[in-house]
Amino acid sequence: MTTPAIEDLLRELAPQVLGALIRRNGQFEGCEDAVQEAVLAATVQWPVEGVPNNPRGWLVTVASRRLIDQMRSDHARRVRESATATEVVSEDVPDTDDTLVLLFLCCHPTLTAASQTALTLRAVGGLTTAEIAHAFLVPEATMAARISRAKQRIKAAGSSFSLPDGAEREERLRVVLHVLYLIFNEGYTASSGSELHRADLAHEAIRLARMVHAQLPEDGEVTGLLALMLLTDARRETRTTAAGDLVPLDEQDRTKWDRGLIDEGIELIKASLAGSALGPYQLQAAIAATHADAARAEETDWAQVHALYLILERIAPNPMVTLNRAIALAETEGPQTGLTLLSTLDGDERMAGHHRLLSVRAHLLEKTGDTAGAYEHYRRAAKATASIAEQRYLESRASRVRT
């Protein structure tokens, strides 16, 4: 077996092994360290010695041995205990997949979003601390401190290792989806750093969303989030030029969109819209699907996009949604109508000086023929953004309207 295949296998097995260990021993922190060590041992041994017949059992055995090593400092006892652990485990590797429970634990509400993200990637994604640190462009020591803090918090919160019920389960699932969404965005929004590693994050988010979807296929929002990720990721290749400059949606080469991902995403969102109560992820996926349906930008069904934003605005009001609706409205009713809707956002302190509001206004002013106003707003938007790619794009727009 080649090394990438082993990596994929380990990534899939790591959360199952961790789940099995926690179920038997409790103590998330110790189990997590033990599984990381077992995974490391596997990445060293398997490529040389071959993958064992029961890779999951192998990992559980090695991780249990490490865990017991940690628990028993007495050397003589350690040997006896690890021998016992080997016996117990090889015959009895529980068949339940605890990955979802583990995901709920990592997305514990007492953690900050940054910690939830890091812990999820490590415990459920099977990424090493170094890989996560690299992906988020922080030193390994910083990420290690964050992960260890997160583990202590979970311990202090005294969470039991089981899926919560009813309303709490629903609430926690929303957090899980939000964390996966954040991981995806981190990978998708290429701002700086190694693009390759960022793409890995987006793929990891998709893999985890697929996993949650496989376990909760009836949940409309889980389906919606997966569809949204697939439909968004399908455009990856066309979003930037070779030089790294941004390409807006209407100028992207649609023949290069990943048809396989789009078809899968559309299929998922269709099924979920038909079957369950609407949520924000489903609506965003439906909007992405509407864009994907148009072979050319001019063929976009803007009336449908606008209608979807209108529903989204009603169930999850947010100035960013209103902003997006203004773009759709401008396409159906003209730029002036769009600008009028935008002016309702001026009093919102979350939006004051926000580069998205400035750039959308610039864009609509340009369409009305007000080039001076457009120039002014493009320039202000370029100053307000924290993304170099976006800044370059906005500055090129500014110089275009000036001449």
Partner 1 sequence: MKFLISMLINPAVLDALTDEEKAAIGDGHGKFIEALKKSGELIITQALVDPSQAVVVSVRNGQPVVTDGPFLESKEYLGGFYLIDCENKERAIELAAQIPDTAIEGLGIEVRQVMFADGQLEA
Residue 318 makes contact with partner 1 by CB under 8 A: no
User: In this chain, which stretch among 81-89, 100-108, 354-362, 387-395 interacts with partner 1, using CB under 8 A?
Assistant: 387-395
Residue whose CB is less far from partner 1, 136 or 302: 136
Residue 145 makes contact with partner 1 by CB under 8 A: yes
- Note whether 125 and 11 are within 8 A (CB): yes
H or E stretch at 57: helix 55-71
Residue 110 makes contact with partner 1 by CB under 8 A: no
User: In this chain, which stretch among 76-84, 98-106, 142-150, 290-298 interacts with partner 1, using CB under 8 A?
Assistant: 142-150
Helices (H), 136-194: 140-157, 166-188
Query: Which residues in 193-232 contact partner 1 (CB under 8 A)?
Result: 193
Residue 386 makes contact with partner 1 by CB under 8 A: yes
Out of 28, 136, 257, 378, which residue is the one contacting partner 1 (CB under 8 A)? Answer: 136
- Note whether 202 and 188 are within 8 A (CB): yes
For 214-273, list the strands marked E by DSSP. none
Residue 157 makes contact with partner 1 by CB under 8 A: no
Out of 96, 142, 189, 396, which residue is the one contacting partner 1 (CB under 8 A)? Answer: 142
Report how far residue 325's alpha carbon sits from residue 322's, in angstroms, rounded to the nearest whole number: 5
Out of 67, 100, 147, 326, which residue is the one contacting partner 1 (CB under 8 A)? Answer: 147
Residue whose CB is less far from partner 1, 134 or 306: 134
Report how far residue 48's alpha carbon sits from residue 39's, in angstroms, rounded to the nearest whole number: 15
Residue 106 makes contact with partner 1 by CB under 8 A: no
* Residue 237 DSSP label: G
CA atoms in the 13 A half-sphere facing the CB of 208: 34
Residue 155's identity, in one-letter code, is: K
Q: How big is the site for partner 1, counted in residues (CB under 8 A)?
A: 25
Out of 50, 139, 248, 275, which residue is the one contacting partner 1 (CB under 8 A)? Answer: 139
Phi-psi region of 247 (alpha: psi -120 to 50; beta: other; left: phi over 0): beta
Give the three-state DSSP class for 164: coil
Binding interface with partner 1 (CB under 8 A): 112-115, 133-134, 136-147, 149, 192-193, 386-388, 391
